[in-house]
Structures are given as C-alpha cells and as structure tokens.
Amino acid sequence: MSESSAAPYELYYWPMLQGRGEFVRLALEEAGAPYVDVARLPEGEAGGVQALLGLLREGPAVPPPFAPPILKVDELVIAQTANILLYLGRHHALAPQDEAGQLAAHQLQLTVTDLVSEVHDTHHPISSALYYEDQKLEAKQRATSFIDQRLPRYLGYFERTLERNPAGEGRYLVGSQRSYVDLSLFQVFEGLAYAFPRAFERAKADAPCLLELREHVARRPRIAAYLASERRIPFNELGIFRHYPELDAAGS
C-alpha cells in the first residue's frame, strides 16, 4: 500500500485463532490502518479459508509464501510475521525511522519469534502432525524445561532490554516511542498468562518493567478498543498459547 492508497490491507490468516496473525492484527489496530481479515469474511464475499488457501497455492507472488500470516498490499505480497511487521513499522511509525532503530526492532521481533516457537513446542514437542494427546509425556517434559529454564531467560533478556533503552524511559523496548515490538511483547504476556497462569504468576515477579509495558499497551486507546471488540479472537486450544493444566504444573 502506498502512502496515498485508500485500499485497505488484506490480512490472510486462519479465522478461528489468534496465532501468529495476532501480532499483525495488533500492529494494524494500533496504527489505525484499514484492513480486511479475509478468511473471516463469508465465502460469498471472496473470504473464508478457501481464499487463504487459494493465495497460498495459486497466488502470483514470487517467492510464494510458505504459510500465513500474509499481508497483501496492493500488488505486494508479504509473508512471515517479523517481515510484515518490518514493513508496517516503516510505513506507520511503528518503529524508529533510522536504520539502526529499524534493525534493532527487527532483531527483537525475531527473538519474540523464537520465544513463540518454544511456547508452541511445549504442547507439540514431537510433531505438529500429532495430537497433543499423542505426546503428553513429552509435552510435560518440554513444558518443565520451558518454565524452569527458557521462560526466565527470555523474560530476563527483555527486562534488561527495557532497562538499557534510555530513550524509552523504561516504557519502550526500542526508540523513544511505542513500536510493534512493544505490542508483540504485550501479546506474548497475554498468551503466557492464559497458557501458564501459575508459572507466569511466579515468573513475572522478576519482570516489573515488562509488567508496566503490558499495562501501558493495554491502555492505549486503539488497543483497548480492539481488545473489547469482537475482532479480538479469544485464546483457545487451537492456537499457539494453549492452556493445559498439567503443563502449567510442570515447572518447579
């Protein structure tokens, strides 16, 4: 989408879950950018899952996207969450405008991507092709490792990042104003609180700056309106952040 284009963005993601598409939705909502969540439209309005699959299998983009989320911007087709956010950050003041700041935001978003992948692997440690019930023992082992070792490491890293960003005054991860990375960390915190309420309650005590960031993002007018709307899909056991009580109890 050019700066002068009035056409809304087209977001392609699974219509029944937040997943990785939610990071993009939050950025679009905060920017106040018009967009269509295509797969949530009726098939009679060129929507539905078939529209998403059609873009994946028969779309003209080179290289073709591997998986959603996908953002269509006029004739431009962008895939991969961090890549989409890199674009939106540049075009909607959701990232610093200098090259060093944009690279820093992208670096942090890629670290968020790593964290999200590890969360997914707590309930599907062997294969996404298997049901959770087919790998419950391995999932409990993986969740124990994540809760005891990996989660504190990630939270500690982002907490230090907040503290070491003098321009952000403890409120922003990069630069002197909110960025898509702040929105993404908010989403991660919301997901962790849903998936691992007991473990997260313990872990967040060591991340006071991140907790303030979470509250600050939640109070932003456009984000608050989005969270209260029907556009915000509830967390459920189809997405990345899933609540299985036996996994939440897995840590020390």
What tens digit of pLDDT does each residue of 71-117 get?
999 889 999 999 999 999 999 999 999 999 999 999 999 999 999 99
Tell me, yes or no, if the pTM score tops 0.75: yes
> Given this model, what pLDDT does residue 159 score?
96
Domain count along the chain: 2
- The residue ranking higher by pLDDT, 35 or 46, is 35
Q: Tell whether 222 and 152 lie within a shared domain.
A: yes
Residues 6+ apart with CB under 8 A from 148: 251, 252
The CA-to-CA distance between both ends of the chain, in Å, stands at: 49
136 within a domain of the structure (yes/no) = yes
Q: What is the CATH number of the domain that holds 77?
A: 3.40.30.10
Mean pLDDT of all residues belonging to the chain: 94
Of 40, 71, 91, the domain-final residue:
91
What is the rounded distance in angstroms from the CA atom of residue 174 to the CA atom of residue 183?
A: 12
Q: Tell whether 86 and 103 lie within a shared domain.
A: no
Of 91, 121, 146, the domain-final residue:
91
Tell me the residue length of the chain. Answer: 252
Per-residue pLDDT for 23 more than 80?
A: yes
